[in-house]
Amino acid sequence: MQKIKIPIFIINLKKQLNKKQHMEELCEKYNLAVEFIDAVDGRLLSATEINSVYSEEQAMKNLRRPMTKGEIGCALSHKLIYQKMIDDDIETALIFEDDIQFDNALLSCLAEIDKLPKNWELMLLGHRGSSGYIQAKYSFWYSKKLNQTHRIRRLAETAYGTHGYYLNNRGARKLVQCLQPISRPTDHFTGVDKYVNLYAVQNPVIVSDEILVQMSAIHADREEICKRYPFSRPETLSGKLIRLTYLFVLKFGGTLGTKQIIGSATIFWKRIKPLRRYF
């Protein structure tokens, strides 16, 4: 098995030894040399530490809710790697969280990584769609063969999840700026082409391990805070109109399948909408 020479960083909380052991065994199985990065435990941050890196005012504008301490810690953990790439002049790196699974499909894609366009800055190896689909929906406007089973695609919606991605130095510099101060979870930047020149692997080669994910408090904390702020997503005028349409459909159109029709039409429009000019 050929050894992958790309630097690989894995974010892991020191106390979560079971996750570290899982990643050590997984990476050893596929002959991957990795470096563990000590994650920032947001729950242990003091109010002074949080206020020095986080803007609740901006978070309320962006999310319509405060960020949890876990989300802040997660953002700081990823930012540590971005800054390391800048300080150590690391041109490209793979960034993994410690609750993932992958197989030979990942290695197969990494072997063809030079097929990425010259202007790439970040490529998602794993992602979930904001529309509720298992993987984010792809634009019809870009598709390039990576290997026999995977393609490089542009996205038609926000892709959530920072569990596995490939990043270059230019992208790291942009993400550091996005997180000064922290006002959104990291995947609000890594999964949106507004902030970095973004690509994604069609049919993700890295997935979250649901059992390990449940061991993290970050998801429970987010669910709890969203209960206190039920309309936590920032709303534009068009967003309000869409929400009102959905409320109408829920009340009057459920039996006719109107909700599904509108949902499908919305995604289809995003997929055919021309891509914005990339920088």
Span 41-63, pLDDT tens digits: 999 999 999 999 999 999 999 99
| Entry pTM | 0.83
Cα gap 178→29, rounded to integer Å: 35
Q: What are phi and psi of 134, to 5 degrees?
A: -60, -40
1-34 pLDDT tens trace:
567 889 999 999 999 999 999 999 999 999 999 9
172-223 pLDDT tens trace:
999 999 999 999 999 999 999 999 999 999 999 999 998 888 777 676 777 7
Sorted by sequence, the CB contacts under 8 Å of residue 122 that are 6+ apart come out as: 165, 166, 167, 168, 171, 175, 190, 196, 197, 198, 199
Peptide bond into 117 cis (omega under 30): no
For residue 257, how many other CB atoms are within 10 A of its CB? Answer: 11
The amino acid sitting at 274 is P
CATH assignment of 8-228? Answer: 3.90.550
Residues in the chain: 279
- Exposure letters 154-187 (e unless 16+ CB within 10 A, then b): bbbbbbbbbbbbbbbbbbbebbeebbeebbbbbb
DSSP 3-state percent helix, strand, coil across the chain (nearest 5): 45, 20, 35
For the chain, give every domain's residue range.
8-228, 237-272
- Exposure letters 124-152 (e unless 16+ CB within 10 A, then b): bbbbbbbeeeebbbbbbeeeeebeeebbb
Span 101-123, average pLDDT: 95
- Exposure letters 16-51 (e unless 16+ CB within 10 A, then b): beebbebbeebbeeeebebebbebbbbeebeeeebe
Q: Any idea of the CA torsion for 110, 116, 120, 123, to the nearest 10 degrees?
A: -40
Helix (H, G, I), strand (E, B) or coil at 245: helix
* Confidence (pLDDT) at 15: 92
Helix (H, G, I), strand (E, B) or coil at 197: coil
Half-sphere exposure (Cβ direction) of 239: Cα atoms closer than 13 Å: 6
* Confidence (pLDDT) at 243: 53
Cα gap 209→100, rounded to integer Å: 5
pLDDT band at 279 (very low <50, low <70, confident <90, very high): very low
